[in-house]
Structure 1
Amino acid sequence: MPSRRVAVTSPQTRIAHARRRVHTAWRPPALDPDDVQRAMRVYAVQRRRALLPLVLLVSLLLGIPAVLAAWPALDDVRLLGIPVSWLAMGALPYPLMVGIAAWQLRRAERAESADETA
């Protein structure tokens, strides 16, 4: 006669399941009115400063295909045996996007620190 299967669970499983069943609404902590004003000021400055990197990013992502479409001869030019057009689409955007992101991060952090000192 085959033995009967028994589910073996850890005592911690009951606790984990019980935690999932608790449905309380999470609310962010209320901020002091001065902190709200400061946050809104910093947020507005960061949004304004984000426009130039956004324009650069869109120009990069739309500009590379436009350049390649305008000069189809770049398909014939090879660098290390790889067509330049492939390199332009597959490798060039990523370091530039990382550079734009790092630059924007520094600008956003400067906006925060400038507001803290003001």
Structure 2
Amino acid sequence: MSPRREKLTSPQTRIALARGNRPAHHLLPVPEPVDTEAARRLFQSQRRTAVRTVVLLAVLLFGLSGSFALFPALGEIRLAEVPVSWLLLTVGIYPVLFGLALWHVRAAERLEDEAEDRAPHRGGDRDDGRGGTTDEPHGPP
């Protein structure tokens, strides 16, 4: 008879299995009413930016495709025996899409920075340079 097999798990796995499907509520920050309103305003402004980005994307893609449909002569122009319309739709569009994505990300980050600047800072909390905050004054006593 072979020896009995033993199941080995890490301590973290045992903790997770013991907790079951319950979420770890102690890990979730509880927003204050002021924080909730600020987050709602930030979300709305970022949503407006996202709608602008999607509209620009639609105008760009459908406008480019539509211009080739409205002006078939554009499809007859060739570069190295490949129609320029194909090159624009398959290769040339990607730098423009990258630029649009970069613009969107920077706009969303700018909105976050502005919201953070408007947010009232709590007490004497300051960044301690290690990812936390401290009430203690910086520098030598």
Regarding TM over 0.5, the answer is yes
Say if 2:63 is the partner of 1:63: yes
2:77 paired residue number: 77
Deviation at 1:9, TM superposition (A): 9.6
Deviation at 1:10, TM superposition (A): 7.8
CA 1:12/1:68 → structure 2, altered by over 3 Å: closer, same or farther? Answer: same
Deviations 1:65-107 (A, max 9, x none): 1011112222221123321111121112221111111111111
Residue type at the aligned position of 2:63:
G
Say if 2:94 is the partner of 1:94: yes
User: Under a length normalisation based on structure 2, what TM-score does the superposition of the two structures give?
Assistant: 0.63
Distance 2:17 2:68 in 1: 53
What RMSD, in angstroms, separates the aligned Cα atoms of the two structures?
Answer: 2.9
Distance 1:84 1:26 in 2: 56
What fraction of aligned residue pairs are identical, expressed as a percent?
34
Alignment map for 1:31-70 (pairs within 5 Å): 31-70=31-70
Question: Partner of 2:21: helix, strand, or coil?
Answer: coil
Deviations 1:20-52 (A, max 9, x none): 793224664421222111111111121223332
2:138 paired residue number: none
Instruction: Name the structure, 1 or 2, with higher relative contact order (CA <8 Å, separation 6+).
Output: 1
2:130 paired residue number: none
Aligned residues: 110
2:106 paired residue number: 106
Tell me whether 27-36 or 40-49 shows the greater mean CA deviation: 27-36
Distance 1:91 1:97 in 2: 11
Tell me whether 64-73 or 26-35 shows the greater mean CA deviation: 26-35
1:24 paired residue number: 22
Higher helix share: 1
